[in-house]
Amino acid sequence: MSTPQPNYLEDYIESLVSRGVKVSTRKQYLSDLKKFLIWMKVYKGDIELGTLKTLNDNDIEAYISYLSDIGYSDATFRRLLSVLNRFLKHFNIYSPILQDKPKERPLRPLNEDDFISDDEMSKLLKSMRKPSKSEARNHLIERNLAIVCLVRYYGLTPKDITSIRMNAVNFFQHTIQIDSNRSPLIITLQDEHLEYIRDYWNSIDKEIRPRYQSNDPLFVAFFNLTFRFRFNYDTGMPQPLSIRGIQEMIKDEVKLAKLRKISAKHLRNSCILDCLSNAVSINNVLTYFRLSDQFSIRRYQEYLSNNKNNTH
């Protein structure tokens, strides 16, 4: 998704130049702030300076939730919010949340509310399998089940899921390859979860269905008014489901199941906890979940140590 660079962002970067900030640091700031503007364009509808200045605590909390669901490491999470805090202060926009949240991330101990329990997961899946009053939602039962299972049982982030292409899916070997900055991750799917994906894929009209062994996205956006999956005729391929689309879907399914607020982060947290509970080595956990260092899993280890009889 491409978002034009507004003049006020260029002015801010120029102010960093005048203060002698290193080129590498300026490039990092620019990259981090572009992530925020992409979110702002989707969430607020535009990236005008006037809109920026109207952001409130609820908006900032929504952005923080968005970053959490993507699954960034603690270090990246803190950096993104710290850069945003400096950026907003430049325009005399002050957010107590932004000042406190980066400090909270590495320090706050995990508690049971940070995970989805087995009982909650069972209720969620049972609810998701049932048709509802929404005809559009009923078209997406298999797709939604596949996505929720990929997060909960394989620890994928919404960002991982939107990036899956058909040439990374092998229906015969039951595998999906996830690309990352490190070596590619190959996950082996349980039969039930593979069937969700296969049934969803087959439910798409053949003329717009993601082509097997192509660069088409596996998960496709859906137009609720026409009950059809979206196809981008400019690119000649289906339109990928967005990160926000995944987050909103999980939110809606959780609400339909009458559960407390549960996000992709809760599902992924439980997957990480499962691995540690099953004595998977620290190095393997770090590699599999693409975590930056051992500090990233310290809170999970502390939670396990303090809740030895707790299961999820």
Q: CATH 1.10.150: which residues of the chain?
A: 7-107
Q: Is the backbone of residue 213 left (phi > 0), alpha (psi -120 to 50) or beta?
A: left
Supply the DSSP string of 244-273, one letter for each residue: HHHHHHHHHHHHHTT-S---HHHHHHHHHH
The per-residue pLDDT for 295 is 61
The per-residue pLDDT for 211 is 95
Q: CATH 1.10.443.10: which residues of the chain?
A: 114-301
Q: Is CATH 1.10.150 correct for 7-107?
A: yes
Report the DSSP pairing between strands 222-223 and 228-229: antiparallel
Q: How far apart are CA 253 and CA 138, in angstroms?
A: 11
- Structure-derived torsion over alpha carbons of residues 171, 210, 207, 235, reported in degrees to the nearest 10: -160
Neighbours of 285 (CB within 10 A): 19
Class of domain 114-301: mainly alpha
Alpha helices in the chain (DSSP H): 7-18, 23-44, 49-52, 57-70, 74-90, 96-107, 118-129, 135-138, 141-154, 158-162, 191-203, 243-256, 264-277, 282-288, 295-306
Give Dmax (Cα) for the chain. 59
The per-residue pLDDT for 100 is 60
Give pLDDT tens digits for 198-257: 999 999 999 999 999 999 999 999 998 888 999 999 999 999 999 989 999 999 999 999
Q: What residues of the chain score a pLDDT lower than 50?
A: 1, 104, 106-107
